[in-house]
Copies of this chain bind each other. A is one copy, B any other.
């Protein structure tokens, strides 16, 4: 059985020693969010996750969800665990205090997300979608609607969904056909089918609030004709009590590769009563309020699974004896190839943690810093880092899961050892909230181009500053990093140019480019971690970080050159191959 221990030492190291999380407590409204408070809360969350939620991970996978006459049953123990979770205040952590939130930094909620997802990623989707739905309503709705739904949605007493995808409208959201017809009383009748609706139906909460993308009768075709609606499972009376069941039903649930404890529903809206939030035909923007933060959350889900894979592989390799290594020891961690895998897992996971947490901190700064210029720069970082965090952490989750299985050998293929579940749970992360290919297109088409290419310029400058100020002790990573930065900048300029005339070139290479960008970002993170660890009181951490940084510099950063040379190949011949000739 895979077990999960929240990596508290690592979390503290990244927040305090690498990213200086103390700066958040200088922001207005976050005065109480001192490092000690934040870390104390993470420790509390870890206790709950390790004790009550992680133990349901394997059983939830084995049992899965069931549906009968529209009633969805979740695996044993999940409802009780969810109640513990929301009642302890973990859903409302960073919500505004006016809606029963605790007004703590977004960063903290992302760290808690990592821990929760490491323990049980399928479980984490219930609060995860609830937070997304809260955000979306909070950003778009009238006071009346906010007051009706947000207090209970914000605590997690009610859960939420995002109803976006339809059978023929996945990545192409604009093809959605669900209709919203005015009822004449300010409400709308929602009619249509949605698929892949996470937490669409269950009995764990008294009410479920659906945030639905639908089309007004007179709206233009495509993405510009979509609007957003709040559609409750049960009507909410003026006094806050629940009324009639709304006309919507889960008609089926999906049978999936993984995240089996999360119910993925086919939802049928049969004239369900809903209320429009945001202006007509601004649905896509309203949805992106939530989507951008959701992409960061998905990154954290990936990080949680990377950590789960890494720590279990290390523990197994420390204990399992098999043959004798060249040094005469029998534990498989002494075998060079096993060690290589474990170092790759550490380099990937720990590097990803800095990327993900830093992105979370930029969200807080972009929202709360008193200086507009600082907010603007922080928002640039959020925009740039979102596709990087989402894609790197999730691609890595699949890879780390697969590598953990490899470390376990044949035993890894057996369900009871729990590591094969990581691969199965992780793969969805590369697909939902925009596939990782879509993240890469977002990176090359939008993030490289916005504001005259300001975003990547900020990155190159920041990394070059870090390289310049690093002492010769860090040449082992600063020098190769400097070379990759030059290469990345040249390739960025190539894309910015070629995109104007041959957009397929950039599109063809976008995933390789995204991976290269992530590797360089991780190089920057490993430079900072190596520096932060050098004088750390913990000798184990000092040695571990130094060696892992060397591993990254020697054996992972080396991929960047080939990836970028791939990108700079024109794609014209590739695009001319007839579709029928594949």
Contacts and interface: CB of A to CB of B under 8 A. Distances in A.
Nearest to A562: B558
A405 interface: yes
Contacts of A388: none
A448 B566 CA distance: 30
A503 B337 CA distance: 12
A566 B557 CA distance: 10
Contacts of A281: none
Interface string A239-259: 000000000000000111110
B334 A579 contact: yes
Nearest to A554: B569
Contacts of A416: 255
A562 to B, nearest CB: 4
A65 interface: no
A279 to B, nearest CB: 24
Given A333-B582, A409-B171, A339 B431 contact: no
A163 to B, nearest CB: 14
Interface string A143-181: 000000000000000000000010010111011000000
A406 B436 contact: yes
Interface stretch (A112-120, A289-297, A540-548): A540-548
Tell me the interface secondary structure of chain A in the complex.
Answer: helix
A440 interface: yes
A574 B540 contact: no
A336 B579 CA distance: 12
A337 B255 contact: no
Interface stretch (A28-36, A91-99, A129-137, A321-329): A321-329
Contact of A339 (B405, B424, B575): B575
Contact of A322 (B170, B257, B314, B337): B170
B257 A340 contact: no
Interface string A328-354: 010101111111111100100000000
A511 B331 CA distance: 20
**So how many copies of this chain end up in the complex?**
2
A402 interface: yes
Given A257-B424, A547-B574, A574-B551, A504 B431 contact: no
Contact of A577 (B411, B510, B544): B544
Given A342-B582, A409-B431, A410-B165, A337 B511 contact: yes
A507 B562 contact: no
A337 B579 contact: no
Contact of A323 (B171, B341, B569, B571): B171
A528 B327 CA distance: 44
A90 interface: no
B573 A550 contact: yes
Given A256-B413, A331-B579, A574 B427 contact: no
Nearest to A313: B582
A288 interface: no
A559 interface: yes
A558 B554 contact: no
A28 B363 CA distance: 74
B409 A504 contact: no
A494 interface: no
Contacts of A342: 582
B566 A555 contact: yes
Contacts of A440: 337
B559 A559 contact: yes
Contact of A415 (B172, B256, B343, B541): B256
A60 interface: no
Given A336-B508, A340-B571, A409-B435, 12 more contacts: A168-B322, A170-B410, A256-B415, A256-B420, A317-B582, A333-B582, A341-B437, A398-B402, A540-B581, A543-B577, A544-B582, A547-B573
21 contacts: A170-B322, A171-B323, A172-B322, A255-B415, A257-B413, A318-B579, A335-B507, A336-B504, A336-B575, A339-B508, A339-B575, A340-B511, A409-B435, A410-B428, A410-B431, A413-B431, A543-B577, A547-B576, A550-B573, A558-B566, A559-B562
The 5 closest A-B pairs by CB, nearest first: A336-B507, A172-B323, A257-B420, A336-B508, A558-B562
